[in-house]
């Protein structure tokens, strides 16, 4: 995570966790910077008490995700972009409809064609065996 992003998250986190604290003042002292580093590390949970963990969990769920195709903000849960992109990413409804679903349909179509071809081959093999008898 980049510093700017971590600072934004730290600010949001402080507002929730320490609502009576002055953020501008907190930024002056080391405590804010310490949390920025913790969020940057990717393991802020290690330093959190139960109340902080609840807030952080909520923040993660609400976190705005960007579509892995068009980079628009995704509202709601988003969609799994597999098999076009990795399934830990998310894509918006529009790209899901325009990119991901057609790709899935194509794969299914290719598979069906393959299965049909196999069935045909097997059919002719069976016929040949019958003729041998």
Residues of the shown chain interacting with Zn ion in the complex, contacts defined by CB under 5 A: 67, 69-70, 92, 95
- Complex with Zn ion: residue 38 or 90, whichever CB lies closer: 90
Q: How far is the CB of 43 from Zn ion (least distance, A)?
A: 30
Q: What does the angle CA 89 – CA 94 – CA 99 come to, to the nearest 5 degrees? A: 70
Measured CA to CA, the distance from residue 119 to residue 18 in angstroms comes to 67
Minimum separation from the CB atom of position 54 to Zn ion (A): 31
Please say which residue, 42 or 83, places its beta carbon nearer to Zn ion: 83
Compare residues 23 and 70 and give the one whose CB is closer to Zn ion: 70
Decide whether 51 or 87 has the Cβ nearer to Zn ion. Answer: 87
> In the complex, what is the shortest distance from the CB of residue 125 to Zn ion, in angstroms, rounded to a whole number?
47
**Per-residue exposure over 10-42, b if at least 16 CB sit within 10 Å of its own CB, e if not:** bbebbeebeeeeeeeebeeeeebeebbebbbee
Taking the complex as a whole, the smallest distance from the CB of residue 98 to Zn ion amounts, in Å, to: 8
Q: Tell me how far the alpha carbon of residue 31 is from its chain's centroid.
A: 30
């Amino acid at each position: 995570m980049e510093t700017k992003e971590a600072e934004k998250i730290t600010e949001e986190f402080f507002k929730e966790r320490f609502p009576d604290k002055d953020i501008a003042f907190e930024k002056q002292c080391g405590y804010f910077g310490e949390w920025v580093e913790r969020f940057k590390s990717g393991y802020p949970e290690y330093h959190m008490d139960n109340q902080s963990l609840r807030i952080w969990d909520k923040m993660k769920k609400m976190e705005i995700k960007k579509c892995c195709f068009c980079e628009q903000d995704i509202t709601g849960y988003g969609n799994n972009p597999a098999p076009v992109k990795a399934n830990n990413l998310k894509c918006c409804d529009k790209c899901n409809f325009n990119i991901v679903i057609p790709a899935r349909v194509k794969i299914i179509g290719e598979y069906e064609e393959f299965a049909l071809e196999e069935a045909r081959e097997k059919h002719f093999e069976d016929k040949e065996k019958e003729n041998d008898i």
